[in-house]
Structure 1
Amino acid sequence: MNAGLVERLTEIEAQAALLGRGERSEYLKRSAQDLGVSLATLYRKLESVSVKPSRKRRSDAGKTELKLEEAKLISAVLVEAMRRNGKRLMSVKQAVEMLRANGKIEAARIDEETGEVSPLSENTITRALREYKLHPDQLLQPDPVSRMKSEHPNHCWQIDPSLCVLYYLPRHGKDTGLRVMKEEEFYKNKPKNVVKIEQDRVWRYTGTDHASGTIVARYYFGGETSANLCDFFIFMMQAKEDVHKDPIRGVPRMVMLDPGSANTSSAFKTLCKSLDVHVQINKPGNPRAKGQVEKANDIVETSFESGLRFTEVHDIDQLNALAERWMRYYNGTQIHSRHGMTRYQAWNKIKPEQLILPPPAEYCRELAISAPKEAKVSADLEIRFGGRFYSVKAIQGILVGQKVLVAKNPWEENGARAATFDADGRETWVAVPEVVFDDMGFRADSAVIGEEYKAPGNTAAQQHAKELDKMAMGAETLEQAAANRKGKAVPFGGSIDPFKHQEDTLATRNTLYLERGGQQMEYNRMEVAEQMLSKVEIAKLLKPRIEAEGGDWKQAVALITKHYPDGVAASQLEAVFDKLKTAGRLKLHKTG
Structure 2
Amino acid sequence: MPKLTEGQHRYLMEVADALRSAPRGSKQEIVGRACEFLGWSRDRVYRGLREVGWTSRRRRRQDRGNSVVTVEEARVVANLIHESTRQNGKRLLSFRDAIDIAFANGRIETYASPATFARVMREAGFHPDQLATPAPHVSMRSMHANHVWQFDVSICVLYRLTTGGLQVMEEKEFYKNKPHNLKRIENQRVLRYLVTDHFSGAFYLEYFQAAGEDQETLFKFLMSAFAERPHPNDPFHGVPSTLVWDAGSANQSYMIRNLLDRLQVEHIAHEPGNPRAKGQVERTHDIVERHFEGRLYMMRIESIEELNEKAHAWMRHFNSKRQHSRTKKTRYGLWQTIREDQLRICPPLELCRELLQTKPVQRKVASDLSVSFAVQGWGQATYSVEHVPGVRVGEQVDVSVNPYRAPSVLVAGLDENGGEILVECDPVQRDEAGFRLDSPVYGEGFHSVGDTDTDTHRKALAREAYGAETNREVERARAKREPAFQGSIDPISYLEADELPSYMRRKGTALDVPNPAAALEVQPLTHIEAMKRLAVKLERPIKPEENQAIRRAFPDGVPEDSLGAVVDWLSGGAGPPTGKRPSSLKAV
Category of TM-score, reference length = shorter chain: 0.5 to 0.7
1:339 match: secondary structure: coil
Q: How does 1:537-548 map to 2 (within 5 A)?
A: none
Partner residue in 2 for 1:565: none
**Are 1:231 and 2:220 counterparts?**
yes
8 Å CA contact retained: 2:158, 2:166: no
Structure 2 vs 1, CA of residues 368 and 469 (structure 1 numbering), >3 Å: closer, same or farther?
same
Match of 1:287 among 255, 275, 297: 275
Q: Quick check: 280-289 or 265-274, which moved more?
A: 265-274
Distance 1:405 1:120, change over 3 A: same
Residue 99 of structure 1 corresponds to which residue in structure 2?
102
Pairing partner for 1:405 from 395, 398, 403: 398
The range that moved more, 353-362 or 331-340, is 353-362
Residue 154 of structure 2 corresponds to residue 155 of structure 1: no
* Gap change, CA 1:393 and 1:124, over 3 Å in 2: closer
Query: Map of 1:84-233 to 2, 5 A cutoff?
Result: 84-107=87-110, 120-164=112-156, 166-168=158-160, 170=162, 175-180=163-168, 200-222=188-210, 223-233=212-222
Q: Which amino acid aligns with 2:96?
A: K
* Residues 1:394 and 2:392 aligned together: no
**CA–CA distance in structure 2, aligned partners of residues 238 and 52 of structure 1:** 77
- SS of structure 1 residue aligned to 2:267: strand
- The verdict on how the C-alpha distance between 1:20 and 1:168 changes in structure 2, with shifts beyond 3 A counting, is same
Tell me whether 1:384 sits opposite 2:384 in the alignment.
no
The 1:429/1:319 distance shift into structure 2, 3 A limit, reads same
CA distance in 2, matches of 1:320, 1:454: 63
Give the letter for the 1:231 counterpart. Answer: K
SS in 1 for 2:192: strand
Normalised TM-score (structure 2): 0.64
Aligned: 1:78 with 2:81: yes
Q: Distance in 2 between matches of 1:456 and 1:52?
A: 103
The 3 A distance-change label for structure 1 pair 467 and 455 is farther
Aligned to 2:418: 425
Deviation at 1:182, TM superposition (A): 7.6
Q: Partner amino acid for 1:326?
A: W
Asked if structure 2 preserves the Cα contact closer than 8 Å seen for 1:253 and 1:278, the reply is yes
> What SS does the corresponding residue of 2:328 show, helix, strand or coil?
coil
Deviation digits for residues 211-263 of structure 1 (CA, Å, limit 9, x no counterpart): 222221012244312232233233223222235x2221223231110110111
TM-score when normalising by structure 1:
0.64
Mapped to 1, the partners of 2:355 and 2:435 lie a distance apart of 28
Number of aligned residues? 449
Deviations 1:294-349 (A, max 9, x none): 12112222222333344444443333222221111111112222222222223223
Q: Would the alpha carbon gap of residues 457 and 135 (structure 1) be closer, same or farther in structure 2, given more than 3 Å must change?
A: closer
Give the distance between the partners of 1:54 and 1:419, measured in 2 at CA.
85
C-alpha spacing 1:392/1:304, structure 2 compared with 1 (3 Å)? same
Aligned counterpart, 1:305: 293
Of the structure 1 ranges 255-264 and 78-87, higher mean CA displacement relative to structure 2 is found in: 78-87
Work out whether residues 406 and 418 of structure 1, in 8 Å CA contact, stay in contact via their aligned partners in 2.
Answer: yes
Amino acid aligned to 1:150: S
Alignment of 1:571-590 (within 5 A): none
Check whether the contact 1:62–1:131 (CA below 8 A) recurs between aligned residues: no
2:262 alignment partner in structure 1? 274
Could you tell me which runs of 5 or more consecutive residues in structure 2 were left unpaired when the two chains were aligned. Answer: 12-50, 500-588
Aligned partner of residue 191 in structure 2, secondary structure: strand
Deviation (angstroms), 1:283: 0.3
- The verdict on how the C-alpha distance between 1:61 and 1:137 changes in structure 2, with shifts beyond 3 A counting, is farther
Aligned equivalent of 2:316, options 301, 321, 328: 328
- C-alpha contact 1:367 1:408 (8 A) present in aligned 2: no
What amino acid is aligned across from residue 144 of structure 1 in structure 2? P
Measure, in 1, the Cα distance between the counterparts of 2:290 and 2:257: 32
1:411: how far off?
2.2
Q: Against the structure 1 CA distance between its residues 499 and 193, is the aligned structure 2 distance closer, same or farther, given a 3 Å change threshold? A: farther
Cα gap change, 1:79 to 1:454, in 2 (>3 Å): same
- 1:281 shift after superposition: 0.8
Equivalent residue number for residue 341 of structure 1: 329
Which of structure 1's runs of 4+ aligned residues deviate more than 6 A?
51-58, 182-197, 437-440, 446-456, 466-475
Choose which of 24, 46, 67 in structure 2 pairs with 1:64. Answer: 67
Secondary structure of the structure 2 residue equivalent to 1:429? strand
CA distance in 2: counterparts of 1:431 and 1:324, whole angstroms: 37
Residue number in structure 2 paired with 1:354: 342
SS of the residue 1:412 aligns to:
coil
Q: Is the 8 A contact 1:398 1:459 kept in 2?
A: no
Write the mapping of 1:427-576 to structure 2, written as runs, cut at 5 A. 427-436=420-429, 442=434, 445=437, 457=449, 459-460=451-452, 461=454, 476=472, 496-501=489-494
Give the drift of 1:420: 0.9
For residues 112 and 455 of structure 2, what CA distance do their matches in structure 1 show?
87
2:118–2:127: 8 Å Cα contact kept in structure 1? yes
Distance 1:420 1:135, change over 3 A: same
Distance 2:64 2:202 in 1: 51
| Identical counterparts, % of pairs | 39
Deviation for aligned residue 1:418: 0.3
Q: Is the 8 A contact 1:469 1:481 kept in 2?
A: no
RMSD: 4.3
2-side partners of 1:396 and 1:94: how far apart?
67
Q: Which runs of 5+ in 1 are unaligned?
A: 1-12, 25-50, 108-118, 512-592
Q: Which amino acid is 1:236 matched to?
A: A
- Structure 2 CA distance, aligned partners of 1:328 and 1:53? 66
Contact 2:157–2:293 (CA under 8 A) maintained in structure 1:
no
Secondary structure in structure 2 of the residue aligned to 1:159: strand
Change in 2 beyond 3 A, CA 1:146/1:493: closer
Taking the aligned partners of 1:181 and 1:101, their CA distance within structure 2 comes to 48
Name the SS for the 1:164 alignment partner: strand
**TM-aligned CA deviation for residue 91 of structure 1:** 2.3
| CA deviation vs aligned residue, 1:141-174 (integer Å, no higher than 9, x gap) | 221222223233222211001233522265xxxx
In 2, the alpha carbon distance for the partners of 1:273 and 1:456 equals 35
Report the 3-state secondary structure (helix = DSSP H, G, I; strand = E; otherwise coil) of the residue aligned with 1:256: strand
Return the alpha-carbon distance in structure 2 between the equivalents of residues 289 and 354 of structure 1. 24
Query: Contact 2:399 / 2:410 at 8 angstroms: preserved in 1?
Result: yes
Contact 2:389/2:414 (8 A) holds in 1: no
**In 2, Cα distance between equivalents of 1:457 and 1:406:** 21
1:240 aligns with 2:232: no
The residue type equivalent to 1:75 in the other structure is: A
Separation (CA, whole Å) in 2 of partners of 1:151 and 1:420: 27
In 1, the alpha carbon distance for the partners of 2:192 and 2:89 equals 29
- CA–CA distance in structure 2, aligned partners of residues 429 and 143 of structure 1: 38
